[in-house]
A and B are shown apart, each in its own frame.
Chain A
Amino acid sequence: MVSIGPVPLVSMRGIDKAFVGVKANSDVDLDLERGEVHTLLGENGAGKSTLMNILSGLYTADSGVIVINGEPRVFRSPRDAIRAGIGMVHQHFMLVPTLSVWENVALGLEDQPFLLDKGRVIERVGDIQKRYGIHVDPLAPVWQLSIGEQQRVAIIKTLYRSADILILDEPTSVLTPQEARALFRTIRQITAEGHGVIFISHKLDEVMDISDRITVLRKGKKVATVNVKDVTKESLAEMMVGRRVVFQIGKTLQNPGRVVLEARELVVRGDRGRVRVDRFSLDVRQREILGLAGVSGNGQEELCDALAGIRKTEKGSIRVDGYELVGKSTREFQKRGISYIPADRIGTGLVTGMNLRENIALRKYWRKEFTRFRFFIHWENIAGRTGQLVERYSVVNPGLGFPAKMLSGGNLQKLMLARELSDDPRVVIAVQPTWGLDVSATLFVRETLLEQRDKGAGVLLVSDDLEEILSLSDRIAVIHNGRLMGIVEDPDRVTEEQMGLMMAGTRLKEFSNPVGEGSEGHGKEVSPSL
């Protein structure tokens, strides 16, 4: 229950912040009451992250005041903000990959003895896990965890510091519907105890579901603060984008052609040496999008890494147009027309310290048109191509010679799409392609994938966002614990509940008659009879 006290929990007034020439926040106000879930809504670059980075002490505002519990505060560092009870879970979790879960939780704690009390930390982590229903192995090193699990660590970390004000930056983008619901229960648990939660998102459905109030930002300015009762999805979208938004994407019917990507009985090991993909088979046909649904961390990323040739396939066969690729080099996979859009665009897909030209060159530099005298790179040709691609994919950029890290998340993704999709690939493997993107960028990415499909590519779409899978896919494969749970031939006839059951480990045949299952008849699977 929201309790409007005499003073709000947080009150930010007239916040201004400019980065080298760009005004990221301009005269923004935000109030957070105790027991409230207050959503910050806005497109990429609207200034949500900047505002929250100011509240969490990472940046200092150029002007404006922050009042916590009626007391004006100046945060010079995140440490000041943490002391004031503010805990932030970032979109890119600020965790140390080589340390274990409990060490990450303990990192930066103030009242710790010189030697960390491992037992005590693990015990308290266990308490928090039980209380909020979040489960992660406290001894596992963070680099071995999936993105979803890492988020749980980040949340545990702030709860461990008894944060009074919890900021969640796009928290659901890595979760299944069930997990998201669990997270929402956790959030309600937190607010029920009188804490305040600031929720950053652009998924309108969940915003309508979880929020008490919503503040909409656009181009660094506050548009309005509204009660969730007084608005609709459509009116919110209009406030956010500044014009009417059409939600429907134009998906035409296509006749899938022959199989382009054929994977049989794949066995792939994860970083820890455990089998993460277990005798998995799938077919992707021309002119179709095959959705791969599953809870994050169930082997999707290992599977896609193997299909793209950057992870060793222990057993099985991967064929593109009938050509066997297992045991071949990564480059051979590229040459056979496999494009790969990995989930981690900053850590894997791009070299953010390199400029735009070099990032376009990254997976193409060896091609004939980009080399001179075999050993030299033809930078003029690459620059020319980069110029065209940046224009065609409308990548907003300060210049082709600037490092990619200066681009926003949406534009980074567009840059990667530009590189991966520009040469009419045979197969497109896209993992979480819209993760963390705003409405316009998400639409752009989805339309681009559909366009690839219509041009004849076979698309394998991996996403934790079930809605995305359901709305884009022509067929859906479900993975659980590295195994194929079944293939849904007709996404229009499956319910979210059924999908959830499969994602939790129930095989398709266990609740319908004739089934398709990995090891048996591929391609003749039948949709569940409902």
Chain B
Amino acid sequence: MRYRIVLRRRFKTGAFFEGILPVISIFAALLFSGGALLLFGVSPLAAYRAMFRGALGSGYGLSEVIVKAIPLVISGVAVALAFRMKVWNIGAEGQIYLGALASAAAVRFLPSDSRVVMLLTMTVAAIIAGGAWGYVAGFLKSRWNVNEVITTLMLNYVGIHLADYFIYGPWRDPSSLGFPMTPPFPPSARLPLFFGTRVHLGILAAVLLVLLFRLVIRWTRWGFEIRAIGDNPRAAEYAGISYGRNVVLLMFISGAIAGLAGMTEIAGLQGRLQPGFSPGYGYTAIIVAWLARLNPWGIMMVSFFMGVLLVGGDTIQVINPLRHPRRDTYREIRGTEPGA
């Protein structure tokens, strides 16, 4: 008896299959990375147990997971919004840096002792700067049809190096013993923290943005317009929906949201601007958005899961150091995307 594998097209994917697919691929990724761990002579089971215990086994671990999930949710919403119109904003990372840079500038040049005033100034600055970064790509797209993947990707480098210029140069803290960082922010420029953990007010922004994303996509004229463009640009044109106007607006808003993630990150956690404060949240956001299938609730869930991997990864580096501790091994787990 000979067997053969026959590939046949499915006419319908069941809801069960849709839901189970990401889970299967996550397990496949864990399995694959387990093989890599074995090569280093580490028991994958023990490593994973340590990982999940570190992330979920204590109140502290859980709070850290949420801390990591906040910027992922915010920038996940930013890119998912753009993806709904099939505009590929790969530039959330740069937009995060621009947002952080602008809020640091606000602290430096428009200081205020009132927390409300200071935080609002920083928020506005971050939104405008991140939005402007997105706007550039949107404008180029609408005016000369320049590919937004290229422009947003390249603007990432510009944004990150621009921030570095100020951190290493004019804004460097003279009392930092040569470390590249700006002076610490005054208390008025810090987001309130909750429950004695590092969970900051950014969590509110994240939840609100998820709700807002859902509201805009489902219930507003603009949400309908960008969905129509995303699904069938020719039909949208026929319906009188302007691509150019919408791509500019969309990229501004997407960039502004990502910029906000930069602000909450430095005002909530670091309390100053320093290089590499975002370990690629803007890129991970792309994975978050697609794993969540651009679904608002999904973005929350996937971000939480990513937080677990990040915190768990940190944990096992501490308690079970490999001979060559490489975070990349764990990034392998995070960076896996299902069939998409």
Q: Which residues of A contact B (CB under 8 A)?
A: 19-20, 60, 76, 308-310, 329-331, 333-334, 340, 342, 344, 347-354, 358, 361-363, 365-366, 371, 375-377, 379
What is the CB-to-nearest-CB distance from A137 to chain B, in angstroms, rounded to a whole number?
23
CA distance A379 to B6 in the complex (A): 44
What is the CB-to-nearest-CB distance from A58 to chain B, in angstroms, rounded to a whole number?
8
Which one of A352, A354, A376 lies within 8 Å of B221 (CB-CB)? A376
Binds A, one of B50-58, B98-106, B226-234: B226-234
What is the CB-to-nearest-CB distance from A411 to chain B, in angstroms, rounded to a whole number?
17
CA distance A249 to B1 in the complex (A): 63
CA distance A66 to B231 in the complex (A): 38
> In the complex the two chains form, is A377's CB within 8 Å of B219's CB?
yes
* A353: chain B residues within 8 A (beta carbon): 231-232
Smallest CB-CB separation from B229: which chain A residue?
A351
> In the complex the two chains form, is B224's CB within 8 Å of A60's CB?
no
> In the complex the two chains form, is A365's CB within 8 Å of B224's CB?
yes
What is the CB-to-nearest-CB distance from B215 to chain A, in angstroms, rounded to a whole number?
9
> In the complex the two chains form, is A329's CB within 8 Å of B240's CB?
yes
> In the complex the two chains form, is A20's CB within 8 Å of B231's CB?
no
B8 at the interface (CB under 8 A from A): yes
B2 at the interface (CB under 8 A from A): no
> In the complex the two chains form, is A20's CB within 8 Å of B232's CB?
no
| Given A371-B221, A375-B222; A351-B240 close (CB under 8 Å) | no
CA distance A342 to B227 in the complex (A): 21
Which one of B219, B232, B238 lies within 8 Å of A376 (CB-CB)? B219
What is the CB-to-nearest-CB distance from A45 to chain B, in angstroms, rounded to a whole number?
16
User: Which of B227, B232, B235 has its CB near the most chain A CB atoms (within 10 A)?
Assistant: B235
CA distance A347 to B237 in the complex (A): 11
> In the complex the two chains form, is B8's CB within 8 Å of A349's CB?
no
Which one of A19, A331, A362, A376 lies within 8 Å of B235 (CB-CB)? A362
Smallest CB-CB separation from A334: which chain B residue?
B240
Q: What 1/0 mask marks residues of chain B from 74 to 104 whose CB sits below 8 Å from any chain A CB?
A: 0000000000000000000000000000000
CA distance A375 to B235 in the complex (A): 21
CA distance A340 to B237 in the complex (A): 13
| Given A310-B237, A330-B240, A349-B238; A362-B228 close (CB under 8 Å) | yes
Smallest CB-CB separation from A359: which chain B residue?
B235
| Given A351-B232, A353-B231, A377-B219; A342-B224 close (CB under 8 Å) | no
What is the CB-to-nearest-CB distance from B19 to chain A, in angstroms, rounded to a whole number?
19
B208 at the interface (CB under 8 A from A): no
Number of interface residues of B (CB under 8 A): 21
CA distance A135 to B8 in the complex (A): 36
What is the CB-to-nearest-CB distance from B213 to chain A, in angstroms, rounded to a whole number?
15
> In the complex the two chains form, is A354's CB within 8 Å of B6's CB?
no
* A371: chain B residues within 8 A (beta carbon): 221
Smallest CB-CB separation from A309: which chain B residue?
B240
B212 at the interface (CB under 8 A from A): no
B220 at the interface (CB under 8 A from A): yes
CA distance A309 to B238 in the complex (A): 8
B38 at the interface (CB under 8 A from A): no
* A330: chain B residues within 8 A (beta carbon): 237-240
Pairs of residues from A and B, 5 with the lowest C-beta to C-beta distance, nearest first: A330-B240, A331-B240, A351-B232, A353-B231, A351-B231
Which one of B11, B220, B227, B238 lies within 8 Å of A348 (CB-CB)? B238
CA distance A363 to B239 in the complex (A): 5
> In the complex the two chains form, is A310's CB within 8 Å of B238's CB?
yes
* B239: chain A residues within 8 A (beta carbon): 330, 362-363
B12 at the interface (CB under 8 A from A): yes
* B238: chain A residues within 8 A (beta carbon): 308, 310, 330, 340, 342, 348-349, 363
* A350: chain B residues within 8 A (beta carbon): 232, 235
CA distance A246 to B219 in the complex (A): 47
What is the CB-to-nearest-CB distance from A515 to chain B, in angstroms, rounded to a whole number?
35
CA distance A459 to B196 in the complex (A): 72
Which one of B8, B221, B240 lies within 8 Å of A60 (CB-CB)? B8
Task: Give 6 A-B contacts (CB < 8 Å), ordered by A residue.
Answer: A310-B238, A347-B232, A351-B232, A361-B224, A362-B228, A363-B240
CA distance A310 to B236 in the complex (A): 10
| Given A310-B237, A330-B237, A354-B228; A20-B221 close (CB under 8 Å) | no
> In the complex the two chains form, is A354's CB within 8 Å of B227's CB?
yes
What is the CB-to-nearest-CB distance from B187 to chain A, in angstroms, rounded to a whole number?
38
* A376: chain B residues within 8 A (beta carbon): 219-221
What is the CB-to-nearest-CB distance from A331 to chain B, in angstroms, rounded to a whole number?
4
* B220: chain A residues within 8 A (beta carbon): 375-377
* A379: chain B residues within 8 A (beta carbon): 219
Which one of B8, B231, B240, B242 lies within 8 Å of A354 (CB-CB)? B231
Smallest CB-CB separation from A345: which chain B residue?
B235
> In the complex the two chains form, is A351's CB within 8 Å of B228's CB?
yes
* B221: chain A residues within 8 A (beta carbon): 365-366, 371, 375-377
* A347: chain B residues within 8 A (beta carbon): 232, 234-235
* B227: chain A residues within 8 A (beta carbon): 354
CA distance A310 to B241 in the complex (A): 10
What would 6 more interface pairs be, CB under 8 Å, given A330-B239, A350-B235? A309-B240, A329-B242, A330-B240, A348-B234, A351-B228, A362-B239
CA distance A76 to B4 in the complex (A): 12
CA distance A377 to B225 in the complex (A): 11
What is the CB-to-nearest-CB distance from B16 to chain A, in angstroms, rounded to a whole number?
15
Residues 1-23 (chain B) with a chain A CB within 8 angstroms: 6, 8, 11-12
Smallest CB-CB separation from B215: which chain A residue?
A376
* A348: chain B residues within 8 A (beta carbon): 232, 234-235, 238
* B234: chain A residues within 8 A (beta carbon): 344, 347-348
CA distance A452 to B152 in the complex (A): 50
* B237: chain A residues within 8 A (beta carbon): 310, 330
* A331: chain B residues within 8 A (beta carbon): 240
* B236: chain A residues within 8 A (beta carbon): 351
CA distance A308 to B234 in the complex (A): 14
CA distance A73 to B237 in the complex (A): 46
> In the complex the two chains form, is A351's CB within 8 Å of B235's CB?
yes
* A309: chain B residues within 8 A (beta carbon): 240
CA distance A95 to B237 in the complex (A): 23
* A342: chain B residues within 8 A (beta carbon): 238
| Given A310-B238, A329-B240, A363-B240; A19-B219 close (CB under 8 Å) | no
* B235: chain A residues within 8 A (beta carbon): 347-351, 362
What is the CB-to-nearest-CB distance from B289 to chain A, in angstroms, rounded to a whole number?
18
